Amino acid sequence: MAVAIDLIFSDLDEDLIRDWWSLCDAAGVASIGADSAQPPHVTLSVLDCDDTDLLLATLGARLDDQHSPTLMLTHIGLFVRPGTVLYLGVSITDELFQLHERITDIGIELGIHIWEHYRPGIWTPHTTLARGFEFEALHDLLPSSVDDLPDLPVKIRAEAVSVATIPDGIELGRLRLS
């Protein structure tokens, strides 16, 4: 089963991302908030995992001292292959890099296959705004005035690590960060 290990934000910071989702929806570019039950998040890893109970137990034991990292949303980005994804980019800080490394090490130690885009040196931390739209739809998303866009850069705080199934986003477990 494919699972994502995600950083989940505080309610206030979730609202900030939902404002961006609303901007996308108003412009006719369906946000992921329109078609997903998942809350706003930054994915640390996606794994093919047969034993999610073992994964959750190991994460709980290995992340019990993990403090809540502060994330800096710095830019709007676009992945064009595979598929089109509009996102808010997250700067890689030492604490975010170290957390990603811890998650990767857990996957490797458990012998779990890590999806290529989430491996060290390839991973691009981001929070998805919209995906699966025609590239030309971005013209309608761009407002006539940049004043309509929420301010960047902005700091947000991660409060928990969530493990959820892919692609339906059913949460299997959540670990609060200190």
Residue 169: burial class (beta carbons within 10 Å; 0-12, 13-18, 19+) = middle
Query: What DSSP character marks residue 112?
Result: P
Residue among 44, 46, 49 nearest 6 (CA): 44
pLDDT of 18-76, one tens digit each? Answer: 989 988 888 888 899 877 778 999 999 999 999 999 999 999 999 999 999 999 999 99
Alpha helices in the chain (DSSP H): 11-26, 32-35, 52-62, 94-109, 138-141
Claim: this prediction has a pTM higher than 0.75: yes
Tally the C-alpha atoms within 13 A of residue 5's C-alpha that lie toward its C-beta. Answer: 27
Task: Give the domains, in start order, of the chain with CATH numbers.
Answer: 2-167 (3.90.1140.10)
Listed residue (72, 73, 75, 76) closest to 24, CA to CA: 76
Helix %, strand %, coil % for the chain, to 5?
A: 35, 35, 35
- pLDDT class of 84 with cuts at 50, 70, 90: confident
Distance of CA 73 to the CA centre of its chain: 12
CA dihedral for 162, 4, 164, 126, sign (positive or negative): positive
* Cis-peptide, bond into residue 167, ω within 30° of zero: yes
Mean pLDDT to the nearest integer, 81-101:
91
Report pLDDT for 143.
58
Q: Which pLDDT score, from 0 to 100, does residue 147 have?
A: 62
